[in-house]
C-alpha cells in the first residue's frame, strides 16, 4: 500500500505459497524460488540513490501470497534491499511499500509516516507519526472489534481512493532485519498502514476491502470529500461507514 501520502499508502497473515510471480516490469515470470535473484538484481540495478519502479494493479505479483523470508539473501544484501524499498517509498511519496509492489514476492514491508498533517486531521484520524521500520514476515490480528472507515489509496493504483473500514487497533508480530522478533500494538492510522501493507503480502489490495460506492478519483476526492472524517461522503454516496 504501498499507501499514498494524500490518503494512505498501505496490506495480512501468511498463507500457502503461490506458484510464480512476474518481474517488476511485468515481462515474463519468475518462480517463487527465485526471490534471491530478484532481490540481488534490484539491489544492483538501483544501487546508490536509485528507486525501483512500482508495480501496477493487474500484475500477477500483487495477487500472490509472498514467500516468507528465511535467509534467501545475506544480511548485507537484505540491508541494501530494505534501503531501496525505503527510498522508493519516500520518492513515491508514500507511507508504506511491500516487496511485491516492486516485483519481489517476499514477505517484507517498510513503513513510515512522518508527513505533517493539520491538527484536526491528527485528532479525527488518530494519525500520529510512525517512525520508520521494516517488517519481515509480519502478521496481525484485531485487538478489538472496533473499526473505523477512512479514505485510503495505493501506490499500485494511482489516481483513485476509497473508504476501507479497518480495525482501529491491531496486534502485530514481525521480525526486523536483524532477526529480532517484535510484538506491538498499533492504533488509529498506524494500524491502518500496518493492515494495508501486510495485506499486500497475502495478495490482497485495498480495493478488495473498500466500500465500493466510495471509490472515486483522487481529483474528485480533493474537490468534494476531503473531510477529516468521511461522514458527508458516506451519506451522499450511500456507503457503509463504521
Which active-site residues does the annotation give? Answer: 197
Residue 171 labelled as part of a binding site: no
Residue 216 labelled as part of a binding site: no
- Cβ(198)–Cβ(11) under 8 Å? yes
Residue 196 labelled as part of a binding site: yes
DSSP the chain: --EESSS-B------PPPSEEE-TTSSSEEEGGGHHHHHHHHHHHT-TT--PPPPPBTBGGGGSPPBPPSSSS-HHHHHHHHHHHHHHHHHTTEEEEEGGGGT--BSEEEEEE-----HHHHHHHT---EEEEEEEEEEEEESSS-EEEEEEB-TTSTTEEEEEEEESEEEEEEE-TTS-EEEEEEEHHHHHHHHHHHHHTTT--GGGTB-GGG-EEHHHIIIII--SSTHHHHHHHT----
Q: What are phi and psi of 158, to 5 degrees?
A: -65, 150
Q: List binding-site positions for Fe cation.
A: 154, 196, 200
Amino acid at each position: 500500500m504501498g499507501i499514498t501520502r494524500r490518503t494512505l499508502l498501505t496490506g495480512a497473515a501468511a498463507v500457502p505459497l503461490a506458484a510464480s510471480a512476474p518481474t517488476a516490469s511485468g515481462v515474463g515470470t519468475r518462480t517463487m524460488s527465485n526471490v534471491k535473484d530478484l532481490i540481488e538484481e534490484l539491489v544492483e540495478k538501483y544501487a546508490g540513490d536509485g528507486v525501483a519502479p512500482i508495480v501496477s494493479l493487474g500484475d500477477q505479483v500483487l495477487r500472490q501470497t509472498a514467500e516468507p523470508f528465511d535467509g534467501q539473501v545475506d544480511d548485507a544484501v537484505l540491508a541494501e534491499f530494505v534501503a531501496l524499498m525505503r527510498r522508493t517509498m519516500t520518492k513515491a511519496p508514500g507511507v508504506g511499500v511491500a516487496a511485491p509492489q516492486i516485483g519481489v514476492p517476499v514477505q517484507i514491508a517498510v513503513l513510515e509516516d512522518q508527513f505533517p498533517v493539520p491538527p484536526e486531521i491528527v485528532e479525527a484520524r488518530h494519525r500520529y507519526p510512525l517512525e520508520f521500520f521494516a517488517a519481515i514476515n509480519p502478521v496481525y490480528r484485531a485487538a478489538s472489534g472496533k473499526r473505523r472507515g477512512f479514505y485510503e489509496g495505493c501506490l499500485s493504483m494511482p489516481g483513485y481512493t476509497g473508504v476501507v473500514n479497518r480495525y482501529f487497533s491491531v496486534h502485530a508480530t514481525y521480525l526486523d532485519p536483524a532477526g529480532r522478533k517484535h510484538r506491538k500494538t498499533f492504533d488509529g492510522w498506524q494500524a491502518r498502514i500496518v493492515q494495508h501493507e501486510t495485506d499486500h503480502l497475502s495478495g490482497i489490495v485495498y480495493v478488495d476491502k473498500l466500500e465500493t460506492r466510495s471509490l472515486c478519483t483522487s481529483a474528485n476526492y480533493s474537490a468534494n470529500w476531503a473531510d477529516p472524517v468521511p461522514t458527508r461522503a458516506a451519506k451522499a454516496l450511500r456507503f457503509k461507514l463504521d
